[in-house]
A and B are shown apart, each in its own frame.
Chain A
Amino acid sequence: MASRTIVAILLTLGLGTTAAAQTSDDLFNPEVLQRLDLWLNSSDWSKLKAAFQENTYYPADVTWNGITVRNVGIRSRGLGSRSSTKPGLRVDFDRYSSGQQFLGLKSLVLDNLTQDPTGVKETVAMRFFSRLGIPAPRETHTRLYINGVYAGLYGLIEAVDKTMMGRVFGSIGDNVQNDGYLFEYNYVLGSAWRFNYEGSDLAPYKARFDIRTNESRAESAIWGPIEELVRLVNNTPSPSFESTIGPRLDLTAFVRYIAAQNFIAENDGFNGYDGMNNFYFYRLENSTSHVFIAWDEDNAFLQSDYGITTRNEENVLTRKTLELPAYQAQYFSVLSEAADSAVDWLRQEMQRQLDMINDAMVSDTLKPYSNSDYTTAREALLAFPQARITYVRCEVSKQTGATRPSGCQ
């Protein structure tokens, strides 16, 4: 009798410990390939795939690690990555019940990885950003099952929302710093934008910056400061640039962000090939200051000899910031720091993640590329870090006049 009681107590404690231990950090633990189950009416899954270009929500149940959250809302998501066979998904836990959360999260994103044959560019890039102190979502991989059937390997991405802002910007006293204005940059097809002033009408800024918090506030309160920032960036001469723009944009954080993005050779980022793309923009709570939040880096690691000043002259904000000697110096310094950080980490992290996802990737029959494509891309990716480190170090020395390291051509 006593032994049974002890076993029962141990089991209870064990179960209790498991439940208590599960946090959003566990969910996004990059060391673990997760399994996530979505249960939704079979007709809804067919409809979602048929109407994958629409943002229609469908109700679903989510199960992870023994925890089930009922009646969440899921929808197709993405821009170029939208797919009818392997849809990218957004999961909103509070869609049908305003107070419902999962591990403290209101939402998460299931990245279908359709634009990256390696499957790890996005997750490696975000971990690298976090190492460099750049605000970035937590990410890992998951096997996704729809109604019990394997639906492929997905990236499990922390949604950039109020919850994440609270995590990133912390609290002042009891006040969580997540009541600022959060914007998702909206890439407008056929209208490349490089921070040029588009006039005093708020409409162009409203079109490019989708508000994600404080949606009910007046348009002037939401987009007015963005119009002002863009206007001042364009009109302010160098001598007063820092004193004018500094209170409205964290220039140090901005330079860190674009330098890191350049190091990972992201061709579709802030200084992208078709204008700005793939970032969130956050106006801090009770502040005029804005910061950039990293998002969607699955085009990273393009090529190791990606120029370290690529398109820096094209974007008005980048150009005018880097015209200031202090920020130019910081830019090259961050590139060097990124190279140093990558030396003992980047290739190992790529290898680790590739090993972790390998079986799930190979058995994913819905991915839009073959296993042969995956193998080729994987090898090319693993060759990137060492070549990039050497290239960046050589180019930085060239730009700054520092002593050239060995291996430079």
Chain B
Amino acid sequence: MKRLLFVAILTAGAAVPAAAQNKGKRGFVWDDRPTIVFGEDVNIAVTGRALVEWRWFDTDLGENLFALRAGRLGLKGDLTKHFDWEVEREIGGGDLSNDESRIEFGDWKDVYVRWRTFDAARVKAGRFKIPFGLEQNTGVSELDFAYRALGSRTIAPGRDTGVMISGELGRFGYEAGVFDDDGDNAESSEIQFVREGEDLKDVGPSFAVRVTGDLFRALPVPGRLRSANVGVAYTIADVPEGLNSLRGASFWGTEDFVERVYVKGRRQRYGAQFDWSPGPASLKAEWMQSREQRNGQSNRDEDLSDFIASAWYVAGTWFVTGEDKDDNVNARRPLWKGGPGAIELAVRYERLAFESASKQGTSFTNPRAQFLTPNSDTVVTAGVNWITSRWTRVILNAIHEDFADPARTPIVGTTSFWSGVVRLNVVF
């Protein structure tokens, strides 16, 4: 019940009209969110978000149907023009149909401080997202779909603790960092086996680098395409022995269509991204791949071929109400002024696949096989986004999943599943 109350308070907060904004003042102001301004470039703002959703499945997968997908509260602010910082923590999500009396804090999200004196070299330290993956590095409230693509959730590493330098150099941007582990999405599942005389090893440290740029500006391409942004990314980390590989979870996470395999050695990720937003439309695409070594992991302690996870997606959106697709979409005819708000259509086609580098002989599903039986999940998501205000958005998605191996799906023998989700995002 208190979770519902939390959602209601955030929704009410977000309903405060934009007129309450008051730039230049000191003390308490509403600058997109509740903010205390102490002086020029010194302030503290309260951030919050609640993502409430109702899900529908054509086959019972045992999932919650009405859930607080994510609730977060945080603080962010500026410390002079040289530093900014953020602290954000999750508030336990879960089934809203249960009358639970407690709100529990969950994982820490972004917790960092950044030195930003020079655009060419900013330094960030703390816990934040590793620079890999266009969609993974897009905030959940800015996503074009209710859920990120499978590759963004599986191969892209997500958050970790580390230090990163980033900046802009002409048409190019860069990010390079070193991190304690290898991201939340790649957390190990098994208590690592330690042989006599060996020390317990953690995943990592990992190193990541990403370069993005308006490459098309330098090419003889049509004018609108010149605004497209492209990028490449790479990470590398040590992975200790164990069932520590990436795994293929179904879209709703109910079952693994590829379970973890034994790995030992390096995990490398390669990524490429494309981001283009001409006017009211957008086109985004990513390709990413991870290769994990399996040194000494065969049934006879010999090296196995690399375990490979590959993913890609292509996603397009279009504001039927004509708004420009940028970071801060403002409805031309806002709902609170009697308009329809901003309405956007979106579609995404994606695949996440797993295989071994070796394809010789008979394939097996066992976690120490040289030739692993491949499997993949191909997903089509089509949806409508209704942006009712700067802080609230309703997302409606229909999702179709199709697995390659009928023996490894959420319901064995059934390869295709339809599901749907209606999401209310409240973010400030």
Contacts and interface: CB of A to CB of B under 8 A. Distances in A.
Contact of B193 (A47, A70, A73): A47
Question: Interface majority SS on B: helix, strand, loop or mixed?
Answer: loop
Given A43-B195, A43-B241, A96 B300 contact: no
B262 interface: yes
Given A47-B193, A61-B300, A98-B407, A41 B262 contact: yes
Contacts of A42: 301
Given A43-B195, A59-B366, A59-B367, A70 B299 contact: yes
B369 interface: yes
Nearest to A59: B366
A120 interface: no
B362 A41 contact: no
B299 A71 contact: yes
Interface residues of A, number: 20
A277 B241 CA distance: 41
A114 to B, nearest CB: 25
Question: Interface majority SS on A: helix, strand, loop or mixed?
Answer: mixed
Given A41-B262, A43-B241, A96 B299 contact: no
B212 interface: no
* Contact-size category for B: 20 to 34
Interface in A64-78: 70-71, 73
Contacts of A147: 300
Contacts, number: 50
Nearest to A61: B299
Interface in A48-86: 59-61, 70-71, 73
A249 B362 CA distance: 43
Interface string B174-193: 00000000000000000001
A97 B365 contact: yes
Interface string A89-109: 000000111101000000000
A46 interface: yes
Interface string A193-216: 000000000000000000000000
Nearest to B361: A70
Given A41-B301, A59-B299, A61-B299, A96 B369 contact: yes
A40 interface: yes
B368 interface: yes
Interface of B: 193, 195, 241, 262, 296-301, 362-369, 373, 407
12 contacts: A39-B300, A40-B299, A41-B298, A41-B299, A41-B301, A41-B368, A43-B193, A44-B368, A47-B193, A61-B300, A71-B362, A97-B373
Interface of A: 39-44, 46-47, 59-61, 70-71, 73, 95-98, 100, 147
